[in-house]
Amino acid sequence: MTLLRNPKQRKLLFSAGLSWMFDAMDVGMISFVVAALAKDWNLGPEQIGILTSINSVGMAVGAAAAGILADRFGRKPILLWTLLIFSAASGLSAFATGFAILCVLRFIAGFGLGGELPVASTLVSESMPAQERGRAVVLLESFWAVGWIASALIAFFIIPDYGWRIAFGIGAVPALYALYLRRAIDDSPKFAEIKKAPVSLKKRIATVWSPEYRRSTIMLWILWFTVVFSYYGMFLWLPTVMVLKGFSLVKSFEYVLIMTLAQLPGYFTAAYFIEKFGRKFVLVIYMLFTAVSAAWFGNATTEGMLMAAGICLSFFNLGAWGGMYAYTPELYPTAIRSTGAGLATSFGRIGGIIAPLLVGVLVGKSMAIGSIFMLFFVTIIIGALAVLFLGKETKGTELL
Highest mean pLDDT among 89-103, 206-220, 260-274, 350-364: 206-220
Residue 315 within a domain: yes
Q: Give me the mean pLDDT over the 146-153 stretch.
A: 81
Among residues 228, 333, 320, the alpha carbon closest in space to that of 279 is found at 320
Mean residue pLDDT of the chain comes to 84
At 299-325, the pLDDT tens digits run 877 777 878 888 898 899 989 998 998
Residue 192 within a domain: no
Residue 88 within a domain: yes
Residue 113 within a domain: yes
Q: Does residue 128 surpass a pLDDT of 80?
A: yes
Q: Does residue 23 surpass a pLDDT of 60?
A: yes
Domain that holds residue 322: 2-183+199-390
Q: Give me the mean pLDDT over the 150-165 stretch.
A: 78
Return the minimum-mean-pLDDT range out of 123-127, 156-160, 210-214, 388-392.
156-160
Distance separating alpha carbons of residues 328 and 341, to the nearest angstrom: 6
The DSSP output letter for 202 is H
Residue 266 within a domain: yes
List of residues 6+ apart from 44 with CB closer than 8 A: 364
Distance separating alpha carbons of residues 152 and 159, to the nearest angstrom: 10
Q: Which helix (H) or strand (E) holds 168?
A: helix 164-170
Distance separating alpha carbons of residues 276 and 281, to the nearest angstrom: 10
Q: How far is CA 57 from the centre of its chain?
A: 14
Highest mean pLDDT among 107-111, 119-123, 149-153, 178-182: 107-111
Q: Does residue 1 surpass a pLDDT of 50?
A: no
Contact (Cβ atoms closer than 8 angstroms) between residue 305 and residue 296 = yes
Angle between helices 99-126 and 7-40 (to 10 degrees): 160
Distance separating alpha carbons of residues 139 and 14, to the nearest angstrom: 9
Single-letter amino acid code for the residue at 146: V
Considering its fold, how many domains does the chain have in total? 1
Residue 398 within a domain: no
Among residues 337, 365, 317, the alpha carbon closest in space to that of 220 is found at 337
Question: 214 burial class (0-12, 13-18, 19+ CB within 10 angstroms)?
Answer: exposed
Return the pLDDT at 374.
92
Q: How far is CA 381 from the centre of its chain?
A: 19
124-135 as b/e: b if 16+ CB within 10 A: bbbbbeeebbbb
Distance separating alpha carbons of residues 317 and 312, to the nearest angstrom: 8
Return the minimum-mean-pLDDT range out of 5-19, 76-90, 259-273.
5-19
Return the minimum-mean-pLDDT range out of 102-116, 120-134, 135-149, 237-251.
237-251
Q: Give me the mean pLDDT over the 26-38 stretch.
A: 76
With bands split at pLDDT 50, 70 and 90, how would you rate the model's confidence at 249?
A: low
Single-letter amino acid code for the residue at 270: A
- Which carries the bigger pLDDT value, residue 298 or residue 289? 289
Q: Does residue 292 surpass a pLDDT of 90?
A: yes
Residue 375 within a domain: yes
Single-letter amino acid code for the residue at 111: F
**The domain spanning residue 363 has which CATH number?**
1.20.1250.20
Contact (Cβ atoms closer than 8 angstroms) between residue 369 and residue 241 = yes
- Which carries the bigger pLDDT value, residue 325 or residue 33? 325
With bands split at pLDDT 50, 70 and 90, how would you rate the model's confidence at 339?
A: very high
- Which carries the bigger pLDDT value, residue 198 or residue 335? 335
Q: How far is CA 382 from the centre of its chain?
A: 19
The DSSP output letter for 366 is T
Between CA 153 and CA 162, with CA 158 as vertex, the angle to 5 degrees is 170
Residue 190 within a domain: no
Contact (Cβ atoms closer than 8 angstroms) between residue 319 and residue 182 = no
Return the pLDDT at 145.
80
Q: Give SS3 for 136.
A: helix
Distance separating alpha carbons of residues 211 and 215, to the nearest angstrom: 8
Q: How far is CA 18 from the centre of its chain?
A: 14
Contact (Cβ atoms closer than 8 angstroms) between residue 247 and residue 300 = no
